[in-house]
Structure 1
């Protein structure tokens, strides 16, 4: 926590002036913001919205420069400051500029909104009836800047990334795939889509695992592969049962970090369950998976390991969503395929041979009828 800058005013035996009230307000505001910032790690950004987005950014080429306008933004900084920027009047437009003919090798820039709660700016309508005429209200000072993009940049508590700008042969363009820091999965349209897809895949995986479990338990002569898949399926179902209620009823209110944490824990439970079978049985099972999803045993374990150990970055939410999304999609395709087999442990090669034999028999039968 930063050191305090503003002190509490001593109101005793003094002539009261406007500066004293301002300093007292600054004192209270500083304490509130620093207290709020303690609980806002990976829990800040765009606020939930019923609209398509809580943010609007536009770019416009004007002569030798490109202007980046922040037209609207509803969110909260990691320092706890609530920001509500709506379509502003022309004189209050919030923008920054970049030169079009720059020789810098930089290809991407963070669009950063900085708020200074203690530098106040008069706002609203001028009250000409007041003596002297004055603006009745003030607002914090907002500044928009572009900063060269780096993977793990940490910004001050009252600065927040609102977008990502890229440069190509046609000039500067907003990165449409970028998801700025967001408070919940319902704060951004892309996050809403991820939340829906994740829920669909989790439900599908759970149903497929239940079918697989039933088939293996009903098989009179289980192969070692089937027994290994039984162990893995039990552990996966056990984990899914612990998140089922919370996920179904609260996924829209979860933070992107919480979603990543839950699904990374799912990957960790799978990787741990591979320790419950011998190395030979594990390799045999992963080779069997390779028949059905085309992912080699080493890549299968590597995918799980990378998701578990990948450090979460709230300024790069999309990276985490893509990683866990790829895992869920792969698992869904794999276990749905296995659940549709006549018996678990059946090899793809045996199905191909059976189909060829069936085709041969059909062809022979047809020829006999023609003769």
Structure 2
């Protein structure tokens, strides 16, 4: 069932805007998110000057990762000043890595690599230690910074999965607004039919940004809702469909089976859909986020991750645990409530911000 006012809204919006040259979808998906101040007298390409210059964006990211950084590396220079890099120093670093929820596997790997370099006398002071730590952390995250998988299919279908409370619906709204700002038409599918509030929240995002939302009554078959959404998007020649799903626990097998059904039904409309299956996880849950990622990946073949709430936790090290365990692309990170706090994942920038380094801008 569709809201009939969306078609008129779309026509009105189109009539108000001059014809614009828009960047290609994969050009947009593979570059940093920018939320510009929209100006009607500019083309999309000309109007997409970032509202926040690079140095300010990096400073904002560094500030938002403050709690994890404080536990991980703050004070190390003072702690090790005048000391040899011995076993005791490495044990202190090991404790900090574990407290930051980097995880036992990654911590053992890092300490083993650093110990070998100390034994070869490649590291003589804390500055060299932190540089080596930076190199090792970057080696873990860089493989997770991958381009989006190209597809000629339209609509490009993004399936969003995750448990309740991770910020999934809010993230969908931010992604939709970003893609629309870049000139691409978006349609949202309210596939979380278990909670009326989830449908209402998605509809609010849609109304606020003049984005159509396909929804049915509470308790409706989620696969049917998403099927209708893709069909509607095809008929309207929409660029992107973003499908919400119920916030299920990774331990609930019946709900995980429903996700598999949704994927099968999508395939009836477009054999290549979904083109991305993005798992949203709350970084503040630490090792539980890793468990979720493993279970969802086994159930539905997750193709990318979005890690939210990195700003409010000292457990941001979980990013490294997930990266080393699964090697999945990390598409976005969330470091705050505002729309600008949804960031395209950049491994070098993330590590630099975590270790309180300058990004070289």
Q: Which TM-score tier does this pair reach, normalised by the shorter chain?
A: under 0.3
The structure whose residues are more often strand, as a share, is 1
More helix by share: 2
Which fold has the larger relative contact order, with Cα–Cα distance below 8 Å and residues 6 or more apart in sequence?
A: 2
